[in-house]
Structure 1
């Protein structure tokens, strides 16, 4: 991008960032100097994860106070930059300090301190603008290093109006953003409501409340009869699995004890709690060698393939065709259920999905489990149960104490699942999907409205730094009406729907 090529309004000039302030380097410290607690003699340090449009003060690190130079304490008006990060999308992001902060910023950050004879918020808005974002994207091209040099920022040209007009532009932007932020807050509130509603649907489903009327009309068989059929079917149909040439029968777990049942939620008459492995075959993946992988062949299912409710063809690895016979006990077929065993829950969402229909068999890699319908169980029923709050709380209690939470295959196998007849399982899946499909449509509408809101924000900033921002009141109504068209169809309906 070539700076300074666009014609500016009368009285405006292009200025370099270095002419209007100073750029400060972050605090260097070792792991031994840092703490996650606010101990005596320690001060907080902001890092790249604390910067995203605004500063957030979550997940702070504390370092010994003497490591922070006086000029490295954050002052009101300072603009903090993420200069380096393991996440490329964080590099270049900035946020302005609204008040003095009794702490500093880490070595992977930088702070730009504008001189007092300029409107500091005007400069801060520029570092949120489309011009700046394009500038950062072009710097990132062709490099695998997630670093931004201070010279990149200091040598950047940007449009500078007279001081009085700087104040005027900031006032316009803030008024427009006030309307915009109110709309965004409403949309995010609706998103949170939908998440709550989803979990409420799953809770009611696995307590038998969604199918209470259906049971009255259809009088399904009790779950004990299903378990008896499964036991007979397992004896007749399931051949022992082979591991390294040795036969191994699937392990059956004993029924839950009275003490264990007393700790579980009460179920409707005819339902019972059953270990997952007594309902379906649970497999854990094989540790294929790195030398086994080739460019084309049988897909190997890795943790990266298991998404939030969907299978992801991502970082795909392949194994030789002959491995499908050699390791047939690790084969995965369409509609088999997959769950990650390492970090199975992230962002409070279970990493679980079904292997897509229409796919050829694949092979299961280590740290992924597959649940296969060898007997008579509705795997979509299990799929939704794995997304419930109850299931997430259960597996959290089983995590091993490591930096990466792990769920062992045996712990997964013995986890209890509320069990009813297969017919009722089918009905429960229908009841869940009829409700969640509406949620999906609402969430898509909210997502589109949030994207519109961000586009409006960038449009406001673009016009502001071109000197084309019109009268506040008129512009505010125009921009807001575009967004409100999305809100009108999302918010009221979502609230009404959740009350049903």
Structure 2
């Protein structure tokens, strides 16, 4: 929030100082069930509500250690991936009918022991100030992400608890009235969408021009128009054939006209009845249908480069030319695939609800062609292209295109052949023009109404922000000097948190328990995968994957990406390290998961072995939807030298440990903890650490306090002998 003066009794605090902030767990998709406990993912969050379409489930029998991720009524939920969408912030509160459900990775939960405070915080998170804070902290462009630390660092004004209660009541009162108005506007929006579709339906059924037909007799009925069109098409074919014979210096053979194939007659027995002056035709009878040319690498360069349109350019009644690509079309190909003004392009491959989406080409990109992700329809003489476009829009709205589409994986294909055989309602020419005129006139009225609704929604949004702004500046309700100051509330919260922190356990003198075989196998798979991914990607020959870089990658993968590898990292001079890696090297060498080679001076390097590929397959299955983020991490690590990898991992660990300890996190405190790590860390200057912090924020490597704290080494550890490292003991 802005740092203007706040009323007496108020104070400012970070969001994570007043609310418990939790981030969900990466549940393995292969363990999902058909029913059980719903998993709350980012896709289930919409502005103001949770939606359970395409819900995923976790088996009740495997709840176990995930009890702490069960959500409660009133919890505040915020999506961390793409948190801001066109309709607003993906922020909601859990309702009774949402339960039970579990918190999933990249979804944040906020809650407080004071329900009044939780409600107040929920209101404040709907403000423009919080939205601006998220915009500033987002990382990534294709998939914007906000970290838990970024959420928790938001600074907000805190009124006394009694005043919060009054503010909440007043906000509920005002926003309830506003929400009722917005709901009414949304109903109008929905009605206008239905009205738009009903106009198209009436247009293609002849109901829109019933009065017009009563006053106008057609010069030529639809049936006569179709007959003329088919005759003209035959004459055009014969003319083309004669020209071809003449060009080849040949005489036409006997009965050559018999080769012309008449279009198959359309079975109209199950089609709706049309007005008397109309008739049914096939789309192929009233125009020319063609599929575009397939893209191919061999066409990416050439001497005849041309712009082309693809499915990404064709929207509903609109061509988008913001991203037009080029490929090579020979003069003969250009003649075949060139677009003309008035051609109608339809999405050939699309989602099921959008397959067949049409738009008219109006020379937006001169000299343009099209690919096989589109079907082109070019009208024959006698058919109004604007009328044809409205018929296709009606088919999009009423689901006719969906009924003929074939589905492969998640893509529906219209099919040029199936489209060409589809029925088409054909009115007389004059009536086609009248239908276009009436539809355009009604659409103009609908557009004006939709614009008015849009303005109303914007006014409502501004009023909402005005109400919230007044509330958080202390202008919405009166202050009461008798209210307990907010500082007392914060002190109680701090004391509750301090009391909830478990006391440190005494260090056990017992031997570290043996690592389960399945964990060793998993560790080996991830190491093999890391070797395969980073092999040959080092920027310098001397910086091939060695122990320092590998263990830093494992630390970030386990802590940041929350891979279940069960390493216990300690504070070694070169950064986080677990001596279990030595034993893993022996196991890996023995089982040919990977091989290690001693460096000339110190340490080892890692290389593929006979079973590396098989282990990589295991790793890929284990990683699931985390594979892309792990690949990105390994790509970054591969390009670092040992010193950079040490700086990266140590900075992350120092920052994360501060969060785990519940200590204040600032740039200065991170640097202080970094230097406290080991005397050798002084080789890194403050500007280097600050630069590293900036890079980590920009790339999304922002700790959230997850994982185990790095353990302090109490004594120097002697390195195991080479024989022990090769053993499987």
Q: TM-score, normalised by structure 2?
A: 0.58
Q: CA deviation at 1:251?
A: 7.9
- Aligned pairs for 1:20-419 (under 5 A) are 20-35=18-33, 37=34, 39=35, 42-59=36-53, 60-68=55-63, 69-85=66-82, 93-99=90-96, 101-116=99-114, 118-140=116-138, 145-220=143-218, 221-237=220-236, 253-257=263-267, 261-290=268-297, 292-293=299-300, 298-320=306-328, 323=330, 325-343=332-350, 346=353, 351-357=357-363, 359-388=365-394, 392-402=398-408, 403-419=410-426
Q: Is the 8 A contact 2:395 2:401 kept in 1?
A: no
Q: CA deviation at 1:391?
A: 6.7
Q: CA deviation at 1:341?
A: 1.0
Q: Is the 8 A contact 1:298 1:361 kept in 2?
A: yes
Cα separation, partners in 2 of 1:395 and 1:144, compared to 1, 3 Å: closer
What is the DSSP-based 3-state SS (H/G/I as helix, E as strand, rest coil) of the residue aligned with 1:327? Answer: helix
Identify the structure with the greater helix proportion.
2
Q: Is the 8 A contact 1:25 1:109 kept in 2?
A: yes
Structure number with greater Rg is 2
Q: Is the 8 A contact 1:386 1:392 kept in 2?
A: no
Counterpart CA distance in 2 for 1:317 and 1:255 is 40
Residues 222-231 or 124-133, more deviating: 222-231
Cα separation, partners in 2 of 1:152 and 1:199, compared to 1, 3 Å: same
Q: Is the 8 A contact 1:350 1:392 kept in 2?
A: no
Q: Which residue of 1 aligns with 2:445?
A: 438
Cα separation, partners in 2 of 1:66 and 1:315, compared to 1, 3 Å: farther
Q: CA deviation at 1:439?
A: 0.6
Cα separation, partners in 2 of 1:178 and 1:323, compared to 1, 3 Å: farther
Counterpart CA distance in 1 for 2:396 and 2:115 is 58
Counterpart CA distance in 2 for 1:391 and 1:251 is 33
Q: TM-score, normalised by structure 1?
A: 0.83
Residues 419-457 of structure 1: per-residue CA shift (max 9 Å, x gap): 122221111111211111111111111112112211221
What is the DSSP-based 3-state SS (H/G/I as helix, E as strand, rest coil) of the residue aligned with 1:191? Answer: helix
Counterpart CA distance in 2 for 1:145 and 1:185 is 30
Q: Is the 8 A contact 1:334 1:361 kept in 2?
A: no
Counterpart CA distance in 2 for 1:355 and 1:218 is 32
Cα separation, partners in 2 of 1:450 and 1:255, compared to 1, 3 Å: same
Cα separation, partners in 2 of 1:332 and 1:268, compared to 1, 3 Å: same
What is the DSSP-based 3-state SS (H/G/I as helix, E as strand, rest coil) of the residue aligned with 1:405? Answer: strand
Q: CA deviation at 1:389?
A: 5.3
Counterpart CA distance in 1 for 2:105 and 2:24 is 4
Of the two structures, which has the highest relative contact order with CA contacts closer than 8 Å and spacing of 6 or more?
Answer: 1
The alignment of Structure 1 onto Structure 2 pairs a total of residues equal to 453
What is the DSSP-based 3-state SS (H/G/I as helix, E as strand, rest coil) of the residue aligned with 1:8? Answer: coil
Cα separation, partners in 2 of 1:16 and 1:22, compared to 1, 3 Å: same
Counterpart CA distance in 2 for 1:304 and 1:19 is 46
Q: CA deviation at 1:79?
A: 0.8
Q: Which residue of 2 aligns with 1:487?
A: none
Counterpart CA distance in 2 for 1:442 and 1:349 is 28
2:435 is aligned with 1:425: no
What is the DSSP-based 3-state SS (H/G/I as helix, E as strand, rest coil) of the residue aligned with 2:27? Answer: coil
What is the DSSP-based 3-state SS (H/G/I as helix, E as strand, rest coil) of the residue aligned with 2:173? Answer: helix
Q: CA deviation at 1:289?
A: 2.2
- Aligned pairs for 1:482-497 (under 5 A) are none
* Runs of 5+ consecutive residues of structure 1 not aligned to the other structure: 243-248, 472-500
Q: CA deviation at 1:300?
A: 0.7
Q: Deviating runs (4+, > 3 A) in structure 1?
A: 85-92, 141-145, 236-240, 249-253, 290-298, 322-326, 389-392
Cα separation, partners in 2 of 1:290 and 1:165, compared to 1, 3 Å: farther
Q: Which residue of 1 aligns with 2:717?
A: none
Q: CA deviation at 1:117?
A: 6.7
Q: Which residue of 1 aligns with 2:475?
A: 468
Q: CA deviation at 1:386?
A: 1.3
Q: Is the 8 A contact 1:82 1:90 kept in 2?
A: no
What is the DSSP-based 3-state SS (H/G/I as helix, E as strand, rest coil) of the residue aligned with 2:280? Answer: strand
What is the DSSP-based 3-state SS (H/G/I as helix, E as strand, rest coil) of the residue aligned with 2:197? Answer: helix
Q: Is the 8 A contact 1:83 1:91 kept in 2?
A: no
